[in-house]
Structure 1
Amino acid sequence: MIQREELASLIPHAGLMCLNDVVIEWDKESVLCSTQSHLRIDNPLYKNNKLSALHAIEYCAQAMAVHGGLLAREQGATLPPGYLAAVRNVELSYTSLNEIKQELMIHAKQLMAQGGSLMYEFKMYFIQDKGDTKGEEIKVATGRATVIQMVKAG
């Protein structure tokens, strides 16, 4: 498990803008993060005491950046700067994230990486507690994203 301080060192966001709290697991293809920052009133994305579900895309994009940072670190490198170029097939099941009281899970799976262009499939969900049995996974957001890294030519 990778805690928030180490996680934050892998992405360009700092302080409260680092939205994910923990990397639960990761491998060469994917990363699973968790967070409760959607419940923190000092979350910088709050507006009028609400955290729009559209911000799920930012949470997922940060998970993608963490994944890229972990892969780069494994190779003894640092992640080049990048930007979210496109999102597709986004489905949101809620209007605001702060109406969800459970810990949020953020999963990002790399589908393609070629020449500084990356494609990820992402989902955000939470586990609905069922008492003694394993809880049910409740979808919050899903979609696909294209990330373009600013790789030096040459």
Structure 2
Amino acid sequence: MPDSLPAPTLDKADFAYLVPHAGDMCLLDGVVTFDDATIHAVSTTHTAPTHPLRSANGLHAVHLAEYGAQATAVHGALRAKAAGATQPRPGMLVSLRGVKLTVERVDTLAGRLDVFAECLLADDTGAQYTFRVEHEGREIASGRAAVIHPA
């Protein structure tokens, strides 16, 4: 990893137990920073030949929305943990809006992905986030995600 890229402060083991994404489906490798409103996560799973979303044609960029959604899940879980919750409330992704992709495939991109999410609104019923995914400082995906917490 080049010196210019910040190293994660939280490894996958520090948050994987807080989210429902298990095994290879837990796509994020670590969290660089997070606060009450934002998260910066990283991943290199997009190049894995065993990626659970990969087809015979590779990993399509549309799956970057899942990276953004997982960043929102990790952020919500870390917020809940910081607020003293012993277990975060389950969430369900119900909407993706304004998704923009600037590449067709991501499995051909060497190195890591930087995944950013910002919480626009959160309450007991759900949350609204924006997300963006960058590769080598270039935005390759962005959009908005809505999550609900089922009663």
Q: Same fold (TM over 0.5)?
A: yes
Report the residue type matching 1:16 in the other structure: D
The correspondence for 2:106, drawn from 80, 97, 101, is: 97
The correspondence for 2:61, drawn from 47, 53, 59, is: 53
Residue 49 of structure 1 deviates from its aligned partner by 4.7
Relative to its length, the structure with more strand (as a share) is 1
Partner of 1:146: 146
Number of equivalenced pairs = 142
2:19 partner SS: coil
Find the aligned partners of 2:65 and 2:149 in 1 and give their Cα distance: 18
Residue 25 of structure 1 deviates from its aligned partner by 0.4
Partner of 2:45: 37
The reply to whether residue 87 of structure 1 matches residue 96 of structure 2 is: yes
**% identity of equivalent residues:** 35
- Note the alpha carbon deviations across 1:51-107, whole angstroms, 9 max, x for none: 111110111111100000001111221211111111111100111111211210000
Report the residue type matching 1:36 in the other structure: T
The correspondence for 1:76, drawn from 72, 84, 88, is: 84
Report the residue type matching 1:145 in the other structure: A
TM-score (norm: length of structure 2): 0.90
In 1, are the aligned partners of 2:125 and 2:150 still within 8 Å (CA)?
yes
Partner of 2:126: 117
Find the aligned partners of 1:99 and 1:140 in 2 and give their Cα distance: 13
Partner of 1:108: 117
Find the aligned partners of 1:44 and 1:115 in 2 and give their Cα distance: 31
CA RMSD across the alignment: 1.1
Greater radius of gyration (CA): 1
The correspondence for 1:9, drawn from 7, 10, 17, is: 17
Worse-superposed segment, 60-69 or 96-105? 96-105
1:97 partner SS: coil
2:18 partner SS: coil
Partner of 2:72: 64
Instruction: Detail structure 1 runs of 4+ shifted over 4 Å in the superposition.
Output: none
In structure 1, runs of 5+ residues without a counterpart are 128-136
In 2, are the aligned partners of 1:41 and 1:49 still within 8 Å (CA)?
no
- Note the alpha carbon deviations across 1:13-57, whole angstroms, 9 max, x for none: 111110000100000001000010001111111110501111101
